[in-house]
Amino acid sequence: MLIESGVGGSTDDYPEQLRAYFASWPVPFADEAQARAFLSDKPITEAWIAGFERRPDGLWPRFDPDVMKSAIAPVAAEAAGPSGAA
């Protein structure tokens, strides 16, 4: 499920920006407090935290940054229009 996206026809490489953002997360998060401190006080933060996998070593997202990039790439290409710039 895609929770958050910012594709709007930008000429920037949004799929790579999204991958880099998720890859920047310092996972595993030790606990929910650490996750909130990193993710900041936004409405989406609670959804992210609710979706984390709880493992013995901490909280992990249930997705891979490279898979997220691949999933959003066709959406970004469509949003960019016929020029193909996304």
Task: Read off the pLDDT of residues 27-59 as tens digits, 9 standing for 90 and up.
Answer: 999 999 999 999 998 989 999 999 999 999 999
CA 71 vs. chain centroid, Å, equals: 11
- pTM given for the model: 0.76
Cβ count within 10 A of residue 50? 8
Give the residue-averaged pLDDT of 6-10. 53
Residue 2: what pLDDT? 53
- What is the spatial distance between Cα 26 and Cα 34, in angstroms, rounded to a whole number? 10
pLDDT of residue 75: 87
